[in-house]
Chain A
Amino acid sequence: MAEKPLIKLINICKEYANEEVVTKVLFDINLELQKGEFVAIMGPSGSGKSTLMHIMGFLEKPTSGEYYYKGKKISDLTEDELAGIRNQEVGFIFQAFNLLQRTSVYDNVRLPLVYSDKNIGDEAVEKAIKSVGLYHRKDNLSNQLSGGEKQRVAIARSLVNQPEIIFADEPTGNLDSKSGKQIMEILQSLNEEGKTIVLVTHEKYTAEHARRIIKIIDGKIVDDFKVKHQLLAKNENDLTK
């Protein structure tokens, strides 16, 4: 069965205009993503990776071009509808964790449910916390956690609404290699379960944990290929133990 692509970008351009200069960040991006893929967007700093992820994640609108999500034209949707999609179908993991200060792990993970119309019970919160292995710390405040733990809380938060697709922007960028591998292991196992994952990174090594790599340089896609030998974080973690 030929499914519609989950995400289809056609000639996406993005420019930022302030008083004096217009910065062109993305040039004619054409891209298709299928459900269940694990894609790494790789490129040097300033190449437009985050910008592309924000557009795919409904956080920003492209300057021109069309974005189809599950066949729906995104430019037709209102701000509130986009907020609804972000809440229901998307999970975000940011480089800078972005947890609520002085708030428990539990409440941080529960936050998306606060804005949800779906009737998801609080069991989902516990399940999400368990899946990142932080159940024993669920009542700790966010500022009492290590960097790796914070990022795992961020992952749990991105999972709680059972999203279609998870966007992770440099999720391991602020972590040591051991914590980084733990994060990658969780992302890989989520992908095994069928979740679509978009990972932004500038490291080749991290990118090779994905199944497909899209390279961008100066706002253009320069390469797009399947990973021949996907690195499995699970095995690496076994070795480091």
Chain B
Amino acid sequence: MDFKTSIRIAFSGLKSKKTRTFLTMLGIIIGVASVIIIISVGAGAQSLILNQVRGFGTDLIAIFPGASEEKGPPPSVFGTVNTSLKNEDIDALLDERNAPHVLAVTYYVQGTGTMAWRNNQLDGTFVATTASYVDVHERRVAIGRFFNEDEEKNMARVAVLGHNVKKELFEELDPLGQTIKIKKQQFKVIGIMPELGVQGFQNQDNLVLIPITTGQKLLLGIDHVSLARVKIDSNENVDRAIEDIGAILRDRHNLRAGEFDDFSIRAQTQSMEIFSSITNSLTYFLAAIAAISLLVGGIGIMNIMLINITERTREIGLCKAIGAKNKNILNQFLFETIALTLSGGILGVFVGVFFSWLVSFVARYMGFDWDFIISILAIGLSCSIAILVGLVFGIYPAYKASKLNPIEALQYE
């Protein structure tokens, strides 16, 4: 029996029972669509995270207080406060002899409080940082100026407003030279940042930047930093720079050989790898669960094929009477099952791609930096699984049909 005829017979069998065929395929459609959606959304979410990290620049090295596992997250992620890093520790990294690849450093503490100007007020976040902040992050103020090193060292009460904070407090008025209150303390507005959006998981437009010492002493009453960033001359020197920084900090903290670091150093590229591996394993885990629904769909298909065969017993008897060999009947029903699962798979791909696109569309509409990613692998994989399901669950009904006795089948009522 030729291939083309098999396909034609298979599809005409399916066409004659449209509603049933569609309902049977639904299991496969949903299964394949979910696998594709999950993998695509996973990749989209990953792109979102990576774009965030990348937005900070890949030539940056982050230093956290407290020890951590080699590849694990820094301890601050778990909410522990560690005071081991001081301003002077980070300033000491600007050491051309012992750390030649370090170009600039900056460090921060962060807090929340009420910001007010006249009758306008909002609960916001302030970031106390160094004058070098703009150099390390390669940013420019939009209006006015950033604070300088003198102001940084001398607890100057000056503030640079994020785009949204300016809008909330001043609306269309000119804020330069005005005095605002942060946690009831007076600050003079000296600059406005441009619109930056979400970067490093924080909406930069909602922040107020103030000098580090002012934040530490006046607003928070502390003398440590919660995070530092180091800009290095080139990506290739990341490992070298991390070693240098480690050596300087160990020396300053008087750590002897054998004692663990009381700080953690992470390159941005390293954290990108960590994020990728976390999102990847999560995505594949979810996709595997979705693939189980394909198995359930397969059982539904086997059930329908058994019903089909019972209904078509006389037809099978006739075909055998006029010369169909067992393998012809077997092939025909196997083809039919595979046609069913494959059509379901292809429809599922369309449904899955559509919904993945919808998710990315909505995410982008909401302002996230979300890439629409469809992996060919996911499509190929789920279609192959659909065919496999057809083979596995089609073989038993097809075998049963092929073994029918022609006369008994012909006389079947």
Contact = CB atoms under 8 A, between A and B. Distances in A.
Interface of A: 54, 59-60, 79-80, 83-84, 86-88, 92, 94, 98, 100-103, 111-112, 114-116, 157, 161
A160 to B, nearest CB: 9
Contact of A115 (B315, B317, B328): B328
A114 B5 contact: yes
B325 A115 contact: yes
B324 A83 contact: yes
B321 A59 contact: yes
B315 A92 contact: no
Contacts of A102: 16
Most chain A CB neighbours (cut-off 10 Å) among B314, B320, B406 = B406
29 contacts: A60-B407, A79-B325, A79-B326, A80-B325, A80-B326, A80-B327, A83-B320, A83-B323, A83-B324, A84-B323, A86-B321, A86-B322, A86-B323, A87-B323, A87-B324, A88-B323, A92-B321, A98-B314, A98-B317, A103-B12, A111-B318, A111-B322, A112-B323, A114-B1, A114-B5, A114-B9, A115-B324, A115-B325, A116-B323
Interface centre among B9, B323, B406 (most CB of A within 10 A): B323
A105 to B, nearest CB: 15
Given A114-B1, A115-B1, A100 B322 contact: no
Question: Quick one: which of A92, A115, A161 has the most chain B CB within 10 A?
Answer: A115
Interface string B178-196: 0000000000000000000
Given A114-B1, A115-B328, A98 B323 contact: no
Interface of B is mostly: helix
Contacts of B12: 103
Nearest to A99: B318
B319 interface: yes
Contacts of A80: 325-327
Contacts of B317: 98
A102 B1 CA distance: 21
B410 interface: yes
Given A112-B322, A115-B319, A115-B323, A59 B407 contact: yes
Given A100-B315, A100-B318, A54 B407 contact: yes
Contacts of A157: 322
Given A114-B1, A115-B1, A83 B325 contact: yes
Interface of B: 1-2, 5, 9, 12, 16, 314-315, 317-328, 406-407, 410
B343 to A, nearest CB: 20
A161 B318 CA distance: 15
A194 to B, nearest CB: 21
A98 B406 CA distance: 12
Contacts of B321: 59, 86, 92, 98
A228 B322 CA distance: 34
Nearest to A92: B321
A174 to B, nearest CB: 15
Most buried by B among A54, A111, A114: A114
A94 B322 contact: no
A110 to B, nearest CB: 9
A59 B323 contact: no
Contacts of A54: 407
Nearest to B16: A102
Contacts of B5: 114
A112 B407 CA distance: 17
B403 to A, nearest CB: 10
Contacts of B328: 115
A240 B309 CA distance: 44
Q: State the 8 A-B residue pairs at the shortest beta-carbon distance, nearest first.
A: A87-B323, A115-B323, A86-B323, A83-B325, A115-B324, A112-B322, A98-B318, A80-B325
A211 to B, nearest CB: 26
A92 B322 contact: yes
A60 B405 CA distance: 9
B16 to A, nearest CB: 6
Contact of A84 (B315, B325, B406): B325
Nearest to A160: B322
A98 B410 contact: yes
A46 to B, nearest CB: 14
A190 B355 CA distance: 63
